[in-house]
Amino acid sequence: MKLSLHIVFLTLLLLLAGNEAVDYSAKQPNIIYILSDDLGHADVGFTNGNIQTPNLNRLVSEGVQLDQHYVQQVCTPTRGALMSGRYPIHTGLQHELIFPGEPWGLPTDETIIPQILRQYNYSNHAVGKWHLGMHKWSFTPLHRGFDDFFGYYLGGEDYLTHIHGNGLDLRSDYFDEEGNLVDQLRPDLDGRYSAELYSEHMQNLFGKLKTQENPFFVYLAFQNVHAPHKIPQHYIDRYSYYISDPKQQIFAAMVSAMDEAIGNITRSLEENGLDENTIIVFSSDNGGNVNCVHHYTSSNYPYRGGKRALYEGGIKSPSFIWAKNRLSPGRSSALIHVTDWLPTFWSLASLQGTLQPNQPIQTKPLDGVDQW
């Protein structure tokens, strides 16, 4: 690619800056992966001027926009590919998504990102949508290498009541002082918008992480902009004067709500002094849903198709990587697939193989490649 030209350029700048510059290539980075849900290629401000995403725009301007970043055509396959570094055809996740009550998930004999990073002394935290299995505890985040989880197990829910079907699916999972898993449902958060809850949780998490010496990995999977389409009115008001269609106002407002949450999160990252050694990757899980229920629709312009299609509109994601002390700003046309992030994060955590894991790591043959 890879991202090497951006790395070389930034290294030269650091050398020219003098001996006091920190060599971040010798430090294990904190890693945050932000995954949007059903976000189309033209649903963000840096590709569509009608959508207000100033915080994403800023991160893109300071990072590297990934012009050929590909995912799978629908939710569960992409999430499984990201976590395992393997194509869905190799993990059994190629068949659509996991519906409530279905007894399957990402196979437990797959070694996934947090299990690898744990061997390099990372703490691992999951926030938002899981959708990789829940019919057995062994499929849930804390049994897959995460230290804690705040979010929901299923594929979608109400943004305010957090109800899916007839049940509440918003929970805080953690290990108590004796090492027992606690699965705490959160009826106390009824009426709170999910993006705002995730932002608040992340800010509290950073307050704790700033005191630890070891690096961290955060997987932040937003609910926005998946159906059902709900959003507090004050977000809609931003679009009332130049988008006439009420449903399109709601959709654009949902994107802006996610962007505002990301702005609050990155601001907290900086306020807690964690930004200098943190890498952020942003992408969507699939193309925008151009045939969505009740005609709330996104845009994958200029690409054909959308969610569930194998045309570029269904698998090409608006994406970027932000690493202020590791990459110079710019754009990359390198071909990247979501499976590439596991080997890339592994390479970063091991300092390109110079650090040995605490215990030997066994994976099945990876489909992704190290893009660093």
Q: Which residues are catalytic?
A: 75, 131
Q: How many CB atoms lie within 10 A of CB 182?
A: 12
What CA–CA distance (Å, rounded) separates 165 from 147? 28
